[in-house]
């Protein structure tokens, strides 16, 4: 397989644990692009949390926000966007309304939260690159919702909630944890499998010539569809088992390692 496109996850993958974009990763992406392989991004993040990274990397290709539900140019122009249905939004908000869960909703380019905290709120400020708006009536945005997130430090409870919400919503939504502490609910087509297919189609690249790299369960749909899947070294066992190759952790700039030691040799033939 000769890669013709690399699509990378962001959190836990492209950026370090402190959410910084390192010089080794920036330089490695530049080498791959110079070798003729375009690079794109796909993430659970909203566009506001991705555009600065695309700019820092000098990307010219479309990127996928909200797990691929929103496809946009690096200049911010939206190409397509999938939203949750209003009834699904109302149902989801009710399902995740329980003690120990913070509810976030993304709509109209804004991050809304039903309460703030000292752990997850600061983290999301960095990831989304914006300030939250405190709102107790999240259902008012039901017609325009890009993503709902159930947030909790109780990872086991959130895993159980994932199964419960997925069963309740069925084919009306995509339900998956993007981190052990974040349970994302997005539109049916807003999953990384359909997202990488949409990004590849924009560049007329067949999926069997696409390489993807990620670290979490919501990356599994793109692992299943791309020609080459690479898992980060710190990824959970089930994610690493689903990948064709494994690279170093994000703390070790594993994306740079994957580019230099896995992809560049394939490009060189």
Q: Tens digit of pLDDT for each residue in 51-85?
A: 999 999 999 999 999 999 999 999 999 999 999 99
Q: Tens digit of pLDDT for each residue in 182-223?
A: 999 999 999 999 999 999 999 999 999 999 999 999 999 999
Pair (148, 203) in one structural domain: no
φ, ψ for residue 171, nearest 5 deg: -85, 5
Pair (51, 182) in one structural domain: no
Pair (152, 113) in one structural domain: yes
Pair (159, 126) in one structural domain: yes
Pair (152, 229) in one structural domain: no
The mean predicted confidence, pLDDT, of the chain is: 96
The CATH number of the domain holding residue 18 is 3.40.50.1000
Pair (225, 135) in one structural domain: no
DSSP per-residue codes, 32-92? HHHTT--EEEB-SS-GGGTHHHHHHHT--S-EEEGGGTEEE-TTS-EEEE----HHHHHHH
Pair (169, 203) in one structural domain: no
Q: Scanning the structure block, which residue is given the tokens 């703030």?
A: 116
pLDDT computed for residue 269 by the predictor:
77
Number of structural domains in the chain? 2
Pair (118, 182) in one structural domain: yes
Pair (180, 109) in one structural domain: yes
Of the candidates 186, 221, 245, which is a domain's last residue? 186
Give the residue numbers spanning the domain of 174. Answer: 86-186
Count CB atoms within 10 A of the CB of residue 214. Answer: 31
Pair (197, 68) in one structural domain: yes
pLDDT computed for residue 1 by the predictor:
84
Q: Are 185 and 166 in contact (CB under 8 A)?
A: no
Of the candidates 148, 164, 186, which is a domain's last residue? 186
Of the candidates 186, 207, 226, which is a domain's last residue? 186
Count CB atoms within 10 A of the CB of residue 64. Answer: 29
Pair (147, 179) in one structural domain: yes
Distance in angstroms (rounded) separating the CA atoms of residues 33 and 28: 9
pLDDT computed for residue 142 by the predictor:
92
The CATH number of the domain holding residue 107 is 3.30.1240.10
0.85 surpassed by pTM: yes
Pair (158, 26) in one structural domain: no
């Amino acid at each position: 397989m000769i890669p013709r496109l690399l699509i990378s996850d962001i959190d836990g993958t492209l950026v370090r644990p402190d959410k910084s974009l390192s010089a080794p990763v920036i330089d490695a992406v530049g080498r791959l692009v110079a070798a003729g392989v375009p690079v794109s991004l796909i993430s659970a993040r909203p566009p506001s949390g991705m555009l600065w990274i695309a700019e820092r990397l000098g990307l010219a290709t479309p990127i996928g926000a909200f797990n691929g539900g929103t496809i946009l140019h690096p200049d911010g122009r939206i190409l397509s966007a999938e939203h949750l249905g209003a009834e699904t939004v109302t149902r989801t908000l009710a399902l995740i309304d329980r003690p120990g869960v913070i509810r976030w909703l993304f709509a109209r380019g804004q991050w809304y939260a039903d309460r703030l905290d000292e752990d997850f709120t600061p983290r999301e400020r960095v990831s989304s690159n914006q300030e939250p708006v405190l709102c107790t009536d999240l259902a008012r945005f039901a017609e325009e919702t890009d993503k709902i997130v159930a947030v909790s430090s109780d990872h086991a409870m959130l895993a159980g909630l994932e199964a419960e919400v997925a069963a309740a919503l069925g084919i009306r939504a995509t339900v998956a944890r993007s981190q052990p502490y974040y349970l994302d609910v997005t539109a049916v087509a807003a999953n990384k499998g359909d997202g990488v297919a949409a990004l590849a189609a924009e560049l007329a690249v067949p999926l069997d010539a696409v390489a993807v790299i990620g670290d979490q369960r919501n990356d599994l749909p793109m692992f299943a569809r791309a020609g080459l899947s690479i898992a980060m070294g710190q990824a959970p066992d089930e994610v690493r088992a689903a990948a064709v190759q494994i690279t170093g952790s994000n703390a070790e700039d594993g994306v740079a390692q994957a580019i230099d030691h896995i992809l560049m040799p394939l490009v060189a033939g």
